[in-house]
Amino acid sequence: MAANTSSVQSLAREPAAPAPREENLRLVVRISCVATLGGFLFGFDSGVINGSIDGLKAAFGTGAAATGFEVGSMLLGCVVGAFFAGRVADRWGRRSVLLVTAVLFLLSALGAGASATAWWFIAARVTGGFAVGAASIIAPAYIAEVAPARYRGRLATMQQIAIIGGLFCAFLSNYLLAQAAGASTGTLWLQQAAWRWMFWVQALPSALFLGSLLFIPESPRFLALKRRDAEALTILGRLYGESTAREKLQEIDASLAHDRHRPRLSDLIDRAKGRVRPIVWVGVGLAAFQQLVGINVVFYYGAVLWQAVGFSESDALLINVLSGALSIGACLVAIALIDRVGRKPLLWVGSVGMTIALALVAVAFTHATLDAGGQLALPRAWGTLALVVANVYVVFFNASWGPAMWVMLGEMFPNQIRGSALAVAGAVQWMSNFVITVSFPVLLVGIGLAGTYGLYAAAAALSVIFVVFCVRETRGKELEQMEG
């Protein structure tokens, strides 16, 4: 205990790393913005399905279960993409993986819009899933590896703003295209249905992402891991300034000196104790809880949900646009706070807020009834309450768990195990997402909206306990100080 206290006091006496010069910081910000285009496409690819469900049913004649699989099929690709991206990034580099994701995003957008059959569509969406899964973990990891510690939280939070920005643009694009065609199944340019154009629009930001990646450098920490110190030193000089680049490289090398080998999954096992490292379990918990609170039910099924309780398709799509705008505002709050108050306070406050909001949504949906046509309906007062607290829930999520989970996954693991730990945590995150997404239509029939949202509220309550007792603060720490 005395030794631990001594080391903590020693760290406290060390002077803070000097801030990078303005021109260096501008470069870091530009590089981070390019990386977050992957997050934008992650959000767009996730949100575009929201307004196209009626079109898919009409084009392919699928029922509820098949439609649920069409919606959730992308998430299977996400699991695979997230699992292998971390390991591939450890071998070939962070930037190289991002380049591959940009190509996959482009192919998915073109293929999904041109789908002639349900299986063609599913194949295109799974391809997009590979890209989404890879981008979701490599983009925040790349940002964490190029950003100074004092700015890392704010820069990595840009990833969540990009995700929500992508969702917002997808919702807005869906709404405008459906309005122009009269419905998502209506005909637009080249005699093609509006729902197809909803996917084709994504080709534009995909091409922009691909072109922009050609102008950013590789992660200096990856280069150091590969013993390419001369290249790492050059990039560190551009990022931090020539005066501190060599010192930073020495810190990185020192963190790898005791165990510098090709990263592998077995690194996640503590050999002395013969069990998985505790930090890996924390990462898995963060990844799972972010999805178990049900946020992607709002993202993927928002239009269907609001139509189910009496809103028109047009109004439901407009509600999605409102939710997207509120989410962006909430992310700006997170940017302002994450490097000031820390990651852990944001997480537990968000968990408490989501628990209350989800519980109120569940209560509101207990008053849903079936009208003469067999359609769900909510009395006006309860419908208003459901709409308001659902958006309050979205705000709490995007001011806390939305950005903070990605920030922490990108920074919390030691250099040697970062890729492998991200592979496992990312796969768990997307598998949880898949389970929540595919199970929603089944739960809707089995226990109703009230019961389903009650389950999400229970998960949010459990996440409070998890954060308080398991999560360690990472604010202000250099990546070389992270312990496993």
Quickly state the pLDDT bin for 71 (edges 50, 70, 90): low
pLDDT of residue 480: 58
Most confident stretch, 239-248, 370-379, 393-402: 393-402
Task: Report, as an integer, the average pLDDT of 19-23.
Answer: 58
pLDDT of residue 458: 95
Pairing mode of beta strands 275-276, 369-370: unpaired
| 477: amino acid identity, one letter | K
pLDDT of residue 374: 52
When comparing pLDDT for 443 and 6, which is higher?
443
Nearest to 86 by CA among 75, 74, 94: 94
As a whole number of angstroms, the distance between CA 253 and CA 403 comes to: 29
224 pLDDT exceeds 80? no
Nearest to 232 by CA among 153, 146, 141, 137: 146
User: CB-based contacts of 3: which residues, under 8 Å, 6+ apart?
Assistant: none
Average pLDDT for the chain: 77
Which residues are 275's β-sheet partners?
270
Tokens representing 117 are: 């059959």
Task: Report, as an integer, the average pLDDT of 208-226.
Answer: 84
425 pLDDT exceeds 70? yes
19 pLDDT exceeds 60? no
pLDDT of residue 62: 61
Print burial letters for 218-250: b (CB count within 10 Å at least 16), e (below 16).
bbbbbbbbbebbeebbbbbbbbbbeebbeebbe
When comparing pLDDT for 173 and 254, which is higher?
173
**For the chain, what percent of residues have pLDDT higher than 90?**
10
Measured at the alpha carbon of residue 225, what is the angle toward residues 219 and 227, in degrees to the nearest 5? 105
Per residue in 322-346, pLDDT (tens digit) is 777 788 888 888 888 888 888 889 9
When comparing pLDDT for 406 and 468, which is higher?
468
9 pLDDT exceeds 60? no
When comparing pLDDT for 363 and 69, which is higher?
363
As a whole number of angstroms, the distance between CA 122 and CA 411 comes to: 33
Task: Report, as an integer, the average pLDDT of 103-127.
Answer: 83
When comparing pLDDT for 474 and 290, which is higher?
290
Task: Report, as an integer, the average pLDDT of 250-264.
Answer: 63
Least confident residue range of 57-71, 98-112, 314-328, 468-482: 57-71
pLDDT of residue 159: 76
Residue 370 phi, psi dihedral angles, 5° rounding: -95, 130
Quickly state the pLDDT bin for 355 (edges 50, 70, 90): very high
Question: Tokens 């041109």 map to which residue?
Answer: 114
24 pLDDT exceeds 80? no
H helix count then E strand count, the chain: 20, 4
Quickly state the pLDDT bin for 351 (edges 50, 70, 90): very high
As a whole number of angstroms, the distance between CA 46 and CA 33 comes to: 20
As a whole number of angstroms, the distance between CA 460 and CA 291 comes to: 10
Per residue in 177-188, pLDDT (tens digit) is 877 777 666 667
pLDDT of residue 8: 34
| 14 to 207, 251, 477, 484: CA distances (angstroms) | 45, 14, 12, 22
Quickly state the pLDDT bin for 361 (edges 50, 70, 90): confident
Quickly state the pLDDT bin for 299 (edges 50, 70, 90): low
**For the chain, what percent of residues have pLDDT higher than 70?**
76
Quickly state the pLDDT bin for 1 (edges 50, 70, 90): very low
User: CB-based contacts of 243: which residues, under 8 Å, 6+ apart?
Assistant: none
When comparing pLDDT for 364 and 68, which is higher?
364
